[in-house]
Amino acid sequence: MSEVYDLIGLGFGPANVAIGGALVERWEAEKAAPQPSSIRKALFIEKQDKFRWHPGMLLPDARMQISYLKDLATLRNPSSPITFLSYLHAHGRLLNFINRGCIIPTRKEFADYLGWVAQWVQDHGVEVKFGHEVVGLDEAADGLIDVRMRAISTGETIVLKAKDVVISPGGAPRLPDCVKPVFDHPSIIHSSTYMANIDGIIRRLREQGERPLTIGVIGAGQSAAEILLELRNRLGPVPSGSGRHQVKMILRKGALRPSDDSPFTNEIFDPEATAEWYETANSDVRKSRLLEYKSTNYSVVNPRTLDSVYDAVYDQKVDDGMAARPNGVQATCPRLTLLPYSHILSLNTAPFAPLSLVIQHSITRVVTEESFDAIVCATGYQRSGWVDLLKSSGLGQRFGLDSTAEAVQLMPSSSIPSSPLTSPPTLATSAVSSPTSSAGPSTPVMTGSTFLDADLQPRKMYISRNYRLVPIPANEESGKNVFQGRIYLQGVEEATHGLSDSLLSVLGVRAGEVVGDMFA
Ligand code: NAP
Asked if the model's pLDDT at residue 499 lies above 60, the reply is yes
What is the band of 439 on the pLDDT scale with cuts at 50, 70, 90? very low
CATH number, residue 464? 3.50.50.60
Ligand 1 atom closest to the CA of 64, numbered from 1? 40
Looking at residue 473, its pLDDT comes to 82
Output the residue whose Cα is nearest ligand 1's atom 10: 219
230 shares a domain with 314: yes
Angle between helices 303-324 and 222-235 (to 10 degrees): 40
Question: Pairing between strand 172-173 and 42-46?
Answer: unpaired
| Residue 28 included in any domain | yes
Looking at residue 161, its pLDDT comes to 97
Find the range with the poorest average confidence among 242-256, 393-407, 430-444: 430-444
Number of H helices, E strands in the chain: 13, 19
Calpha distance 217→231 (Å, rounded): 10
Q: CA torsion sign, 261 to 73 to 9 to 57?
A: positive
Asked if the model's pLDDT at residue 451 lies above 60, the reply is no
Show which of 381, 407, 426 is a domain's final residue: 381
**Residue 502, ligand 1, Cβ within 6 A:** no
The mean pLDDT of 190-219, rounded to a whole number, is: 97
220 shares a domain with 94: no
The mean pLDDT of 331-340, rounded to a whole number, is: 96
The mean pLDDT of 491-511, rounded to a whole number, is: 96
pLDDT digits (tens, 9 = 90+) for 113-129: 999 999 999 999 999 99
| Residue 86 included in any domain | yes
121 shares a domain with 17: yes
Find the range with the poorest average confidence among 255-269, 392-406, 442-456: 442-456
**Residue 130, ligand 1, Cβ within 6 A:** no
pTM (2 decimals)?
0.91
Ligand 1 atom closest to the CA of 221, numbered from 1? 25
The mean pLDDT of 192-218, rounded to a whole number, is: 97
Looking at residue 468, its pLDDT comes to 97
**Residue 297, ligand 1, Cβ within 6 A:** yes
424 shares a domain with 365: no
Listed in sequence order, the residues at least 6 apart from 175 whose beta carbon sits closer than 8 Å to its beta carbon are 183, 190, 377, 379
| Residue 285 included in any domain | yes
What is the band of 426 on the pLDDT scale with cuts at 50, 70, 90? very low
90 shares a domain with 187: no
Looking at residue 404, its pLDDT comes to 84
| Residue 263 included in any domain | no
**Residue 222, ligand 1, Cβ within 6 A:** yes
What is the average pLDDT value for the chain, to the nearest integer?
90
% of the chain beyond a pLDDT of 70: 91
pLDDT digits (tens, 9 = 90+) for 45-59: 999 999 999 999 999
Ligand 1 atom closest to the CA of 503, numbered from 1? 32
Looking at residue 475, its pLDDT comes to 72
Looking at residue 27, its pLDDT comes to 93
Find the range with the poorest average confidence among 176-190, 268-282, 401-415, 491-505: 401-415
206 shares a domain with 134: no
Show which of 381, 409, 441 is a domain's final residue: 381
Per the structure, the complete domain to which residue 334 belongs is given by 180-257+299-381
149 shares a domain with 48: yes
The mean pLDDT of 323-345, rounded to a whole number, is: 95
Show which of 359, 381, 403 is a domain's final residue: 381
**Residue 298, ligand 1, Cβ within 6 A:** yes
Higher pLDDT, 9 or 433: 9
283 shares a domain with 312: no
Give the three-class secondary structure for 23: helix
Q: 3-state secondary structure string, 133-159? A: EEEEEEECCCCCEEEEEEECCCCCEEE
Ligand 1 atom closest to the CA of 305, numbered from 1? 41
**Residue 344, ligand 1, Cβ within 6 A:** yes
Provide the strand spans (E) within 56-144.
127-130, 132-139
Q: Nearest Cα to 56, choosing from 125, 111, 119?
A: 111
The mean pLDDT of 374-379, rounded to a whole number, is: 98
The mean pLDDT of 384-388, rounded to a whole number, is: 91
| Residue 265 included in any domain | no
Q: Which of 298, 345, 376 to mutate to test the pocket of ligand 1 (most atoms within 8 A of CB)?
A: 298
Give the H or E element holding residue 118: helix 107-123
439 shares a domain with 483: yes
| Residue 266 included in any domain | no
pLDDT digits (tens, 9 = 90+) for 453-485: 444 468 899 999 999 999 988 776 666 778 889
Asked if the model's pLDDT at residue 436 lies above 90, the reply is no
Asked if the model's pLDDT at residue 501 lies above 60, the reply is yes
516 shares a domain with 371: no
Output the residue whose Cα is nearest ligand 1's atom 3: 380
Q: Which of 113, 223, 249 to mutate to test the pocket of ligand 1 (most atoms within 8 A of CB)?
A: 223
Give the largest CA-CA distance in the chain.
94
% of the chain beyond a pLDDT of 90: 80
Calpha distance 364→451 (Å, rounded): 48
**Residue 219, ligand 1, Cβ within 6 A:** yes
431 shares a domain with 311: no
| Residue 262 included in any domain | no
pLDDT digits (tens, 9 = 90+) for 137-178: 999 999 999 999 999 999 999 999 999 999 999 999 999 999
98 shares a domain with 76: yes
Listed in sequence order, the residues at least 6 apart from 130 whose beta carbon sits closer than 8 Å to its beta carbon are 12, 46, 48, 49, 50, 51
Ligand 1 atom closest to the CA of 379, numbered from 1? 7
Task: At 463, give phi and psi (nearest 5°).
Answer: -135, 140
Q: 3-state secondary structure string, 486-518? A: EEEECCCCHHHHCHHHHCCCCHHHHHHHHHHHH
Number of domains composing the chain:
2
**Residue 299, ligand 1, Cβ within 6 A:** yes
Q: Which of 107, 299, 347, 500 to mutate to test the pocket of ligand 1 (most atoms within 8 A of CB)?
A: 299
| Residue 196 included in any domain | yes
Asked if the model's pLDDT at residue 241 lies above 80, the reply is yes
